[in-house]
Chains A and B, each alone.
Chain A
Amino acid sequence: MTLRITQPRRIPRSDGLVRHSASVAGQELWFDIPSDRAGDLRGEPFLSCLIVPAMVQDVAIELDPSLPVCPDFLAGVHAYMQVVRFWPVEIGHALHPIPIRAETEPPSPGVGTASFFSGGIDGLYTLLEERSRITEAVFCHGVDFQLDSALATEATTRNRAWLADRGLPLLEMASNARFVGRALGVGWNAHNGACLAGYGHALGVREVLIASGHAWLDWMGGGTHVLSDPLLSSAATRVHHHGHGPMRWQKLARVLAEPGVPELLRVCWQDTGYNCGTCEKCRRTMLDLHLIGVTSPAFPSTRQLSEVLPSRAEQWEAACYLRQTLRLAQHVGRHDVAAVVRSRLRDWERRLWLRRADAAFLGGALRRLHRRR
């Protein structure tokens, strides 16, 4: 089986964007790029966005000969596969290194340093830490919001105004890579780093910064990681995974010191409000804000601490963040909050244990029963 990337097209549009697209497994994968940034049609963006889905399906990738890739990039993709194949648990799929057939051709040099920016904690932290080298912030439609979301317009307007005060342009692009990945059986978190690297290649920037969501405390791999993202660099575009290390609350404390951030901050992925205030990510951020002692008008107001105390962790990522919040609660001397977080962590560990006990003693019967119900 082979995943063929065929029929590459470069379509100028009336809204000042250029669409780079290709057919893959009966679908169209596209990138809408500002016309002044849309260089030659090349293979790097397509290969970046499809490498993990192909590894999951264990199928070779064949690129149309008119979609050449940089030789360094191709070598990097092979190295990337040797890293992420060891992360089936974190990525949620078995990953197989696969053959890639592609023409190679050196790319034209990239221009500028871009950083992905949606107004979240990690993006803000990276932007503020690397302000001197960043020449533009990039917002990609189709990542945080559904492609036609009205909220995207609100967020973009606020982000653009905040960035303009700091002399930085906001460059908007769009892609359906997240949805194509899902159609191929791979969720966004399994290959977000690879897709963001692909967007950087599509924009033809010299450097692209992907803001990290990992602290040193979370030593597991993932769809975006300091050990894997940089491997998807080419001779034209260096991919950096920036900000791996500080805990989320340490980044939050850093960015809140910047004027306008409490009003701008947006962490929610639910498309039900600027920050819905009820999802796990919103609650975790609101708790961190409470413990740091800062209020943010970007979040719904809360009357009681109990409204933002963490609910039970459903995934290991949420458990990682609970550990970080525990450190914050201990740091600020809030032992009452620390006790609640600790109990949530114990609850998570109990459920993990139950899952392992089921697998070891009952061959997974309880899990099957639970799924059937």
Chain B
Amino acid sequence: MTDRAEPYLLREFRVTEGANGHRVSAILDGREVWFESPGFEAPQEGGNAFLAVAFLAAMATGRNLDMSDLPPVSATLLDALPTLDAIWTQWNPCLSSIEVRAQRATTHSGPGGGESLFFSGGIDATHSALEGTPGQQLVFVSGFDHAIDRQSLPATTARLERLSQRLGSTLTMVETNWVEWRRECRLSGALMHGGCLAAVAHLLGSGHVTISSSNSFRRLTPWGTHVLVDPLWSSERTTIRHWGNHCSRAEKVARVVQATALHADLWVCHARPVGNCGRCAKCARTRLAFHLLGNTLPIEGSMAHRDPVEAYLPHLKAGSEHVYIAEMIELARAGGHADTRRVLERGARRLARRHVLRDLRNAVLTRSAQRRMVRTDLQPWGHGPAPRSV
């Protein structure tokens, strides 16, 4: 194990020309993290970018962050660090408060130009693109949800280009090894992903960069991207905003359903890098919402022929579905699908009972088992042992 007194060191910052544009890299605690894109207008903002990537990683190991060899960091961002530190240490007892050693930028070029939106072709980002500034740059980060898959990347790019054309926007592709680095370090995606997006935002150098919200204001629970956290990653040049909490998932789907020209290229699936499997919870939920709104979400494979209600019901075992089931029932009620509503209400009751029994089981566990469970739920690296040094 690494000594906690030893700093979490960032070094060897480099900007080189890669096969797909500027490649910006640094060594984070012994492992290289890189980002590459033809759209990077501000590689000199690398100090901000790697601070965003490394901050929570350092907090997870409880070691102070030393990035004094990297380019200067925005004064705005440095001033926000105590707040970010306070938020995360309150939200997650497994994270430790740390100090950051970095060069403070004494000058800045003022706000950058243009607007950008992180975009994967899912419901949240498509809703933001439809409701946001027309013509804004759409940014897809390959290596964020899944490791870069060279085989499927051309198909992904083609799909996103079609979507951005129909939305009247330009597409910028970014590649990174961030997800692989995160997995090697055993850091949780739920905790860390906001820092990755903030890093890309700084390297793009746009004046405003939007991260679409996954949740409405109903659900303000700690998450890697959050309406209270994302703006704190901003610099003098780049303002980062978290947008879309004012709509429920069902309302977002209802807006996207109206944009029929986009349906063929929507991608909501986390099980496959291209196309919608129809089997995972996200696919099943979105497909049912489309169905209740009188439309069809394109699905690949045999699941396309399965009834959307039947395909969704097995997912009512998952704890996370209690967030969405009420919205589904409301959609069924509003759409006059009385039979579906009854089925969903029965499912919701079963889900509530399941939750109650699960909590009872947890309550009767021995105290050490409870402690182990809480640690597992809250630890920043997700399940498994603590991150180890290189």
Contact = CB atoms under 8 A, between A and B. Distances in A.
A50 B225 CA distance: 34
A126 to B, nearest CB: 16
A73 to B, nearest CB: 18
Contacts of B356: 353, 356-357, 360-361
B217 interface: yes
B293 interface: no
B324 interface: no
B364 to A, nearest CB: 11
Interface stretch (A23-31, A34-42, A166-174, A215-223): A215-223
A32 B305 CA distance: 68
B246 A360 contact: no
A227 B217 contact: yes
Contacts of B245: 83, 86
B216 interface: yes
B87 A245 contact: yes
B190 to A, nearest CB: 15
B352 interface: yes
B86 A219 contact: no
A359 B217 contact: no
Nearest to B83: A245
Contacts of A341: none
B228 A226 contact: yes
Interface in A337-352: 349-350
A350 B355 CA distance: 14
A264 B94 CA distance: 37
B224 interface: no
Contacts of A221: 217, 220
Interface residues of B, number: 24
B86 A216 contact: yes
Contact of A227 (B227, B248, B360): B227
A97 to B, nearest CB: 10
Interface in A200-232: 215-217, 219-221, 226-227
Contacts of A247: 90
Given A353-B363, A360-B352, A217 B91 contact: yes
Interface string A252-296: 000000000000000000000000000000000000000000000
Given A79-B246, A353-B360, A215 B355 contact: no
B359 A353 contact: yes
A359 B91 contact: no
Contact of A86 (B86, B216, B355, B363): B216
Given A83-B217, A219-B221, A227-B227, A356 B87 contact: no
Contacts of B220: 219-221, 227
Contact of A360 (B86, B91, B222, B349): B349
B86 A246 contact: yes
A353 B356 CA distance: 7
Contact of A216 (B90, B217, B246, B352): B90
Interface string B86-121: 110011000000000000000000000000000000
A264 to B, nearest CB: 26
Interface string B219-235: 01110000110000000
B218 interface: yes
A219 B222 contact: yes
Nearest to A352: B359
Interface in B179-237: 216-218, 220-222, 227-228
Given A245-B83, A359-B352, 20 more contacts: A84-B217, A216-B86, A216-B87, A216-B228, A217-B90, A220-B220, A227-B217, A227-B227, A227-B228, A245-B86, A245-B87, A245-B90, A350-B363, A353-B363, A356-B356, A357-B356, A357-B360, A360-B352, A360-B353, A361-B353
14 contacts: A82-B246, A86-B216, A87-B218, A216-B87, A216-B90, A217-B90, A219-B91, A227-B220, A227-B228, A247-B90, A357-B356, A359-B352, A360-B352, A361-B353
Interface of A: 79, 82-84, 86-87, 215-217, 219-221, 226-227, 245-247, 349-350, 353, 356-357, 359-361
Q: Which 10 residue pairs spanning A and B have beta carbons closest together?
A: A86-B217, A86-B218, A82-B246, A360-B352, A216-B90, A217-B90, A219-B220, A216-B87, A360-B353, A357-B356
